Chains A and B, each alone.
Chain A
Amino acid sequence: AQSVAQPEDQVNVAEGNPLTVKCTYSVSGNPYLFWYVQYPNRGLQFLLKYITGDNLVKGSYGFEAEFNKSQTSFHLKKPSALVSDSALYFCAVRVGQGTPLVFGKGTRLSVIA
Chain B
Amino acid sequence: EAGVTQFPSHSVIEKGQTVTLRCDPISGHDNLYWYRRVMGKEIKFLLHFVKESKQDESGMPNNRFLAERTGGTYSTLKVQPAELEDSGVYFCASSPQRTSGYEQYFGPGTRLTVT
Partner of B101, one of A43, A51, A101, A106: A51
Partner of B41, one of A36, A43, A105: A105
* Contact of B87 with A by CB under 8 A: no
Q: Mark A28-62, 1 if CB is under 8 A from B, else 0.
A: 00001010100001111110010110000000000
Partner of A98, one of B4, B31, B42: B31
* Contact of B1 with A by CB under 8 A: no
Binds A, one of B60-68, B71-79, B90-98: B90-98
With contact pairs A32-B101, A49-B101, A104-B42 given, residues A43 and B91 touching in the complex (Cβ less than 8 Å): yes
A100 with B48: CB separation less than 8 A: yes
Given the complex, which residues of A lie within 8 Å of B98, measured CB to CB? 97-98
Q: Number of B interface residues at 8 Å Cβ cutoff, please give it.
A: 31
Interface residues on A, range: 20 to 34
Smallest CB gap from B92: residue in A: A43
* Contact of A90 with B by CB under 8 A: yes
A36 with B59: CB separation less than 8 A: no
B101 with A90: CB separation less than 8 A: no
**Which A residues from 88 to 102 make CB contacts under 8 A with B?**
90, 92, 97-102
B91 with A100: CB separation less than 8 A: no
Given the complex, which residues of B lie within 8 Å of A105, measured CB to CB? 40-42
B79 CB to nearest A CB, Å: 20
A101 with B45: CB separation less than 8 A: yes
Give the interface of A toward B (CB within 8 A). 4, 32, 34, 36, 41-46, 49, 51-52, 90, 92, 97-106
Give the interface of B toward A (CB within 8 A). 4, 6, 31, 33, 35, 40-45, 48, 50, 55-56, 59, 91, 93, 95, 97-101, 103-109
